[in-house]
Structure 1
């Protein structure tokens, strides 16, 4: 009798174990598909929103170009207009999603990024821990969720890989540039990192069996987990900012180790089909980059006439903290304002094909050289004329001197030497400012590399009657007064090119005093007559001065002494140079009032404090629905920050 009962119990346990295993396997195979359906739905939603936004901007620009004259003087009524309700809702979404931020030390996340992060965390861990009650009624059965966590981890590897590449299908579908997706790449990797150790901890805590230690899948899993852990540590902002070259090569090696280890580990459990597409994604990205390198740099690579010299770049050490690198436009290379290029300089880099990203500070102009030069007679000296013309026709980069690559480049620039450069790019999103009546361009330090091409683009578009813009306010905050000479000749020439229909207001704020030497690079020599902006971040706080206005500022504020001003800029009535930090909130409020009934676009590039000051200045009530319903300006904000999380 006991034997029969024991046999029945064993049979029941085997049956339960078999049923548990079948359920576990089924859910481990099904849930990664459900997670991907959820992620695909979000990607599709973003794509639809971006497409509708594109159509809306195109239609708005077309309407404003055709009826610009009839719109003048409208929109100043304080009465609510129901027709503005769609625009008011769009602005409400912009304010809530992108202008409310949370700061975590040197990292700043807007509400949209926070929501996406929380949704991703919730999705992965919900699908990991739901339905983990076994057939016997035991809740959160570790055998259910630990194996499932491994399947979910494998399913996310292609997503993480794609988000980290410069040429990826997600960016192509959604229209979101790769540098924006890079935040999602790091976020997804860090969430998966937590899930990896959740999976590993569940396996290690009860102890590993002897036969498991003899199989290759276990050490491969340990290799993948340790590689991902190291990746997450070296990808922290302080490490990347201080040791970019170390991060660059270590990241490359660790990614390959992680993918190989993950593939061999999942092969044992038939989940390798999730991992191998990552090798294809990575390989396609590299293939596209190599093809672009060949197309844009074939003279340097030994093809065609003048090979070896076509991509020689000249260097100038403008100050101990800034190098200007200029090279002729590579064949077939075109770019838009705000885009970046990766520079490969074998003679300067410590390792071959080491690339460094820099914003292109020049503009890809369609005007002839004669048309550009004809405006320079009264503003440029002969020595400055050639260098300023390059900002319309050549590639110009303004490079911050720190350690490693940039410091070696500075030593070459101190001798006014030339370097061989291979260009990879352009990358990043370009901003079309043609549909906005007012454009406000705000920069701190080297952030002017981003805003200067936008100014040149706007002036040329208005000249060709392709833009409805009638007002540009160019705000630049610098620490050293000598930094004005960095773009003085270019700015003076641009202002001479502007048509009478476009009003340009240039405001330069000097937050510090000139210093003859820099303690950071004591052994570099440079011509003190050439000036350039300090590359370090400029802290900008909005002063609490509710009575601030343009007139009172110009009449009463302390202007910079004449000896600080550049002659080319000092003589221009549309340029104002002031001592102190810019009151960004008050300036933006004034611009919004000037643009009532129209569209205002604000582009900012600078430190986190500058970006946050602008975001706060464009929150409620200036961008609220009530303001739009009463004829206020529709405000668009583009933020390009110096750093990233």
Structure 2
């Protein structure tokens, strides 16, 4: 009977991890199918005939709403988006999980533990026999590490198959690691109970390596907790690298003793392949550093914009191309503690020839003439399309040292790796709303420029764009003042653009704000003279804003205080038909506000069936670590 039990246990220990992989593979395949259906639907929807509108006033005219049974499926899809991605489980003020993440977490926990404890009744009828689930839990945990490793890399096959970016999959990477961590301790604990007294086994190499691996994994799970990652990212970065290496080596030696190391060594291959791809990118994009005569010298200019922000810009490598919303990893040996320590930042500049349009090709409608903007007012917006530009939020560690280098006026040597992450495909949307907080404008600004260019080229059906930027100091407007002016001059008449800039920092008397068309306080008109107003900035210095600048444009609105995002979004949803995209990059409070505004009843199946817009929400990670 004991021999039969042992044979049955061994067979299941080898079979169940393979079955688990089949189930996980099927789930990934289903997700990929839905993702690619959504992708191709957006592509084909964007190719529908675009009606040319010569009068800019027509851009805001919307089709009449009417109930349609044909829109019921679209309404159900919209309901799925609301429930899955806008309903959240919140943990304090700084962290939240959407229902899709909650579902995946619960499903994975149930799935893995059911596979670990199912069919654990021995042939004598004893239920939950420890000899059945002890080693099985360890083998099941080991079988998950190739996938966990893949989800933690920047170039992974799951992203390739599903189209979901690595940063969005990083939550799954951490979640799976923690679930497996519990399963491994269940394995280790039952080994202690089953083999008591345990001391004689300490002479065995496989046991020592297993214990070292578990200690390393425990330390790794502790430092990967969100509060530690957020407050001490560099500590997490170094410890993560060291503990993963120790764990994988110890796990390989431990599992080799039981002939299932084939679950561990692929982790080294996956990690090595990712590093090889990243190294090759570094060589290609930074080849002037590697002994090649051609290529650009990546000497970056770091400028202190305020106490909290640094702008980094440098010449774009000839082979480096990106799309709006993508990120790049920057390696600065003179600033980092380790020579090849990489940090991700969103690229704020625009890889396009939009601003190379000759003056005679620019729109000259009466409405644009009202802006009273001359070529001399355009300023220098060249860095936003001829260089790589980054707005970096200064905190501690790496960013604090970068600020010190900027204050000294030092040139910073930079290696660039990327680009990474998805780029929103907004060509098939009738209305796009972009919400940014502080340095989140790094995401929103290139997307806005891309929309303008695509509409100019007849590649987008977009008819309205709403750009909302929340800043602490009015002085931050200078970051993008020139490029926004130029972009608005080049915007075609068929595209309605509304820009809301909200200053949330030091209270400023409303009378001192620029008296322009854009002021949304009692609809005060713009003044006819070209005198300027003085506004107090966050650092106490006076900032001069001319009426003959950005705020002389009718579509630009300046207000004090936090934006009422629910009201703004509700108004846009009420006035819009077709497809609507909302993109947000900012703090957790901004993200929560946007999510809450786009739930039921504002964005409901009934609203869509009655001709309202189908709303898609894209959240760009802010301060991703």
Structure 2-normalised TM-score?
0.89
- Equivalent residues of 2:565, 2:593 under 8 A apart: yes
Is 2:208 the partner of 1:219?
yes
Q: Quote the Cα distance in structure 2 between the aligned partners of 1:27 and 1:201.
A: 21
Label 1:319 to 1:644 Cα distance change in 2 as closer, same or farther (>3 A).
closer
Cα pair distance change 1:377/1:490, threshold 3 Å: farther
- Contact 2:348–2:389 (CA under 8 A) maintained in structure 1: yes
1:342-491 map, 5 Å: 342-367=329-354, 369=356, 371=358, 378=373, 385-386=379-380, 388-491=381-484
Q: Does 1:625 align with 2:612?
A: no
Q: Which residue of 2 aligns with 1:326?
A: 313
**1:348/1:408 contact within 8 Å kept:** yes
Q: 1:71 to 1:491 in 2, by over 3 A?
A: closer
What is aligned with 1:141?
Answer: 129
Could you tell me how far apart the structure 1 residues matched to 2:525 and 2:337 are?
A: 47
1:572 Cα shift? 1.4
3-state SS of paired residue (1:555): coil
Alpha-carbon deviation of 1:242? Answer: 2.1
Superposition pairs of residues 250-329 of structure 1, within 5 angstroms: 250-305=239-294, 310-329=297-316
| Distance of aligned partners of 1:644 and 1:219 in 2 relative to their CA distance in 1, 3 Å threshold | same
Determine the structure 2 residue equivalent to 1:37. Answer: 22
For 1:193-272, list aligned pairs within 5 A: 193-206=181-194, 207-272=196-261
> Would the alpha carbon gap of residues 629 and 148 (structure 1) be closer, same or farther in structure 2, given more than 3 Å must change?
same
What is aligned with 2:97? 109
Moved more, 567-576 or 288-297: 567-576
Is this contact kept in 2: 1:223–1:258, CA < 8 A?
A: yes
Post-superposition offset of 1:553? 5.6
Q: Give the counterpart of 1:636 among 586, 595, 616.
A: 616
Once the two structures are superposed, what CA deviation does each residue of 1:94-122 show, in whole Å capped at 9, x if it has no partner?
11110100111222110000000111101
Q: Does the Cα contact within 8 Å between 1:372 and 1:497 map onto a contact in 2? A: no
Distance 2:498 2:374 in 1: 17
CA displacement 1:297-320 (0-9 Å, x = unmatched): 101222124x6x611111111112
Structure 1 residue 393: Cα displacement: 2.0
Q: Deviations over 1:467-499 (max 9, x none)?
A: 111111100111222212221112112111111
CA–CA distance in structure 2, aligned partners of residues 571 and 551 of structure 1: 7
Partner of 1:566: 545
**CA distance in structure 2 between the aligned counterparts of 1:381 and 1:486, rounded to whole angstroms:** 18
1:379 and 1:201, CA in 2 relative to 1: closer, same or farther beyond 3 A? farther
Give the 5 Å matches for 1:38-117.
38-65=23-50, 75-78=63-66, 80-105=67-92, 106-117=94-105
Query: Displacement of 1:370 after TM fit?
Result: 5.7
Cα pair 2:59 2:496 within 8 Å, conserved? no
**Are residue 592 (structure 1) and residue 573 (structure 2) matched?**
yes
**What's the secondary structure of 2:354's corresponding residue?**
coil
Are 1:172 and 2:172 counterparts? no
Q: Report Cα offsets for 1:503-554 as digits up to 9, x if no partner.
A: 1111111112179xxxxxxxxxxxxxxxxxxxxxxxxxxxxxxxxxx99964
- The range that moved more, 587-596 or 117-126, is 587-596
Is contact 2:434–2:467 with CA below 8 Å preserved after alignment?
yes
Quote the Cα distance in structure 1 between the aligned partners of 2:388 and 2:624: 25
Cα deviation for residue 457 of structure 1 reads 0.5
Is the CA contact 2:518–2:552 (under 8 Å) kept in the aligned structure 1?
no
| 8 Å Cα contact 1:558-1:578 kept in structure 2 | no
Q: Distance in 1 between matches of 2:518 and 2:311?
A: 36
Structure 2 residue runs without a partner (length 5+)? 363-370, 509-516, 527-531, 536-543
Among 165, 170, 195, the residue aligned to 1:182: 170
User: What is residue 6 of structure 1 aligned with on the other side?
Assistant: none
Instruction: From the superposition, tell whether residues 557 and 89 of structure 1 become closer, same or farther in structure 2 (CA, over 3 Å).
Output: farther
Cα offset, 1:201, TM superposition: 1.0
The CA distance in 1 between the partners of 2:230 and 2:40, in whole Å, is: 38
CA contact (8 A) 2:46 2:461 kept: yes
- 272-281 or 242-251, which moves further after superposition? 242-251
The alignment's TM-score, normalised by the length of structure 1, stands at: 0.87
Deviations 1:581-612 (A, max 9, x none): 1111111111112212x111100011111111
Residue 496 to residue 337, structure 1, CA distance change in 2 (3 Å): same
Where 2:155 maps in the other structure, the secondary structure is coil
Does structure 2 retain, via aligned residues, the 8 Å contact 1:438–1:600?
yes
8 Å contact kept, 2:518–2:558: no
Determine if contact 2:518/2:551 at 8 Å carries over to the other structure. Answer: no
Partner secondary structure for residue 440 of structure 1: strand
User: Are the structure 2 counterparts of residues 142 and 67 from structure 1 closer, same or farther at C-alpha, using a change threshold of 3 Å?
Assistant: farther
Q: Corresponding residue for 1:152?
A: 140
Q: How many residues align?
A: 589
Structure 2 distance, partners of 1:35, 1:89, is 31
Structure 1 residue 192 corresponds to structure 2 residue 180: yes
- After superposition, the Cα gap between the structure-2 partners of 1:17 and 1:381, relative to the gap in structure 1 and judged at 3 Å, is farther
Q: Shift of the alpha carbon at 1:131?
A: 0.8
SS in 1 for 2:612: coil
Q: Once the 2 structures are TM-superposed, how far is the Cα of residue 331 of structure 1 from its aligned partner?
A: 2.0
Task: Encode CA deviations 1:335-370: one digit per residue, 9 max, x unaligned.
Answer: 011110000011111111011111101111133636
CA RMSD of aligned residues (A): 2.6
The aligned counterpart of 1:611 is 591
The CA distance in 1 between the partners of 2:131 and 2:608, in whole Å, is 56
Q: How far apart, in 1, do the equivalents of 2:41 and 2:52 lie?
A: 16
Q: Provide the rounded CA distance (Å) in 1 between the counterparts of 2:113 and 2:403.
A: 49
Is contact 2:518-2:556 (8 Å) kept? no
| CA gap 1:481/1:504 in 2 versus in 1, 3 angstroms | same
- Matched residue of 1:205: which SS? helix
Conserved? CA contact 1:334–1:364, under 8 Å: yes
